[in-house]
Amino acid sequence: MFHKLPDELHLISETAGKLSRDHLEPLAATLDSGEGRESFLKNLNLLAANGFMGLNISSDYGGTEAGATGFALAIAKLAEGCAATALTVSVSNMVAEVIQAVGSQAQRDAYLPKLTDGTFPAGGFCLTEADAGSDAASMRCRAAKDGDFYVLNGSKLYISSAEYAGLFVVWAVTDPAARKGKGISCFLVEANTPGLIIGKAEKKMGQTGSATNEVHFQDCRIPASALMGEENEGFRIAVKELAGGRIGIAALAYGIGVKAMETAKVYVSERKQFGQPLSAQQGIQWMLADRETELEAARLLVLQAAALKDDGLPFAKQASMAKLYASETAQRATYTALQLHGGAGYLREYPLERYARDARITTIYEGTSEIQRLVIAREILKDF
């Protein structure tokens, strides 16, 4: 089914790969050290100029109309160069897709062009809270109606790109008396809105080039027109969009794994021990064979989920399968690649330890591996 990509999708993948090699990969180690933010933002602008900030967005708003499959292919290639940048692109595309799916015409006209053309360097997805991670329906952030306004109060946690996002999609409780998950609404909040405060930057294990912050709302007044979709129906929007976001994270994890194994294959072909290349050892060959087989399976799961989404068919189960398998495969791939480098893999002179750190979070954000298993089990058992 996926043995040959259509020309337009092949071009997207090829273009993403070239930008990744030429611009993202040379900056990745600098970003990982905590520097290079200005160059990082220039790369985001370059990606926007090449259509990567609106991959599944209508051309009416400056989008590429590449679909979910084009999105997955692009994120995978970008992740090969820099996982932190690929994450920023993935989340920003996710924000744009929410607006396109449920936003009013005025909201789409006002915000989508600014996301796709780089006017907003990125978008922020404000769902998680301190007591509402996997159990997102337990959020406490409130949006109280006040005439023609809503007043937001509360805090969001682990928000990617918060420091430089131009726009946030925010979920908040609008009906505290409603049963769990039924009194939540979805809003658009611009970054410069009074009462929106970007909190401390988190010090992370990996993907350090992507900012992750707390976002606080202190009597943050937004117009009633900032509501997206129907009042009190926002949680359903979040669940649907998280499924699409999982395709992006699955593709990102796959890209990291591919890059790690490519690095390892070069090393074991050149490194000699006992008078022959490491690649001549059967044990090494088996390690390579297992990881390559797993990565190919991950690729097919990602493409299957994306194809179902593109066809307008149910894809939540397949997205969770792809995210679960690709993220856990990336763990094995990066650790195998590091092991094949021996002591050199443990040194920061080589990128293996960064790949391992970058891959680790993919089993956690956009729903942990444990949550993915629950989603998959629920889907396969619902008819019984």
Distance from C-alpha of 261 to C-alpha of 141, rounded to nearest angstrom: 43
Burial of residue 369, with CB atoms counted within 10 A of its CB: 0-12 exposed, 13-18 middle, 19 or more buried: middle
How is residue 149 written in tokens?
């306004």
Distance from C-alpha of 35 to C-alpha of 129, rounded to nearest angstrom: 28
Q: Which residue, 365, 347, 345, is CA-closest to 252?
A: 365
Phi/psi-derived region of residue 237, left when phi > 0, alpha when psi is between -120 and 50, beta in every other case:
alpha
Phi/psi-derived region of residue 277, left when phi > 0, alpha when psi is between -120 and 50, beta in every other case:
beta
End-to-end C-alpha distance for the chain, whole angstroms: 30
DSSP state of 216: E
CA angle, 278 as apex, 275 and 283 as ends, to 5°? 120
Query: Active-site residue among 8, 366, 370, 379?
Result: 366
Distance from C-alpha of 336 to C-alpha of 251, rounded to nearest angstrom: 19
Does the annotation mark 214 as catalytic?
Answer: no
Distance from C-alpha of 131 to C-alpha of 157, rounded to nearest angstrom: 9
CA angle, 147 as apex, 141 and 153 as ends, to 5°? 15
Number of helices followed by number of strands (H, E) in the chain: 11, 10
> CA-based diameter of the chain, in Å?
80
Burial code (b: 16+ CB inside 10 Å, e: under 16) for 283-315 equals: ebeebbeebeebbeebbebbbbbbbbbbeeeeb
Distance from C-alpha of 311 to C-alpha of 24, rounded to nearest angstrom: 32
Residues assigned a catalytic role = 366
